[in-house]
Amino acid sequence: LRAGVEWRYSALDDDFGDREFFQLVFPIGATWDGRDDPVNARNGFYGDVDLMPFAGFGGTKSGARLTFDGRAYREVGESTVLAGRFQLGALAGADIDEVPAEMLFFSGGGGAVRGQPFQSLGVERDGDNTGGRVMATVSRWCSSTSVSGRRFDAAVSFDRRVCRAARPGSPDRRG
């Protein structure tokens, strides 16, 4: 379990113009790790949930950010592991131009959608790529460490992530 209080100030010059944000943040979270090995899991489950309510000051909006990350691992035979990951995230109370970029959801890179450049997938708004208010990720993979008695490492993966904007009809980016 974890909890805290933070004061955040952000000054940004981005696609939305010059902006300043003043936030009092109350991060709360919990992690449950039931994997047999946190570095090279072969069996077990992992779950992490974070809730970050924030109060805005000086014209900054208030709201909350919620994220969930769940993973499962299952050894099949002596050398093969099937694994899956499910992530959800949502931002409530503010639109994408009313919070700092680090509170939005982007995608791309090894932690989200492998094979895509880091944070290259988001929401297209007025021709610019920005983060979204909602995201969901599903990843599945299989890895094997030996074939016919010889050392061989291989992994097959499938990733899918969707980031959505606040307004219905806004384009979204999928990876």
Q: What is the pLDDT of residues 50-79, one digit of tens each?
A: 999 999 998 889 999 999 999 999 998 877
Amino acid making up residue 150: R
By CB atoms closer than 10 A (0-12, 13-18, 19+), residue 102 is exposed
Q: What are the percentages of helix, strand and coil residues in the chain, rounded to 5?
A: 0, 65, 35
- Is the per-residue pLDDT at 25 higher than 90? yes
How far is 94 from 98, CA to CA, in rounded Å? 6
How far is 54 from 98, CA to CA, in rounded Å? 12
Residue pair 32/68 in contact by the 8 Å Cβ criterion = no
Residue pair 64/54 in contact by the 8 Å Cβ criterion = yes
Q: What is the mean pLDDT of residues 38-45?
A: 92
> Residues 6 or more apart from 89 whose CB is under 8 A from it?
65, 66, 67, 68, 105, 134, 135, 136
pLDDT band at 28 (very low <50, low <70, confident <90, very high): very high
- Is the per-residue pLDDT at 22 higher than 80? yes
pLDDT band at 135 (very low <50, low <70, confident <90, very high): confident
Residue pair 29/47 in contact by the 8 Å Cβ criterion = no
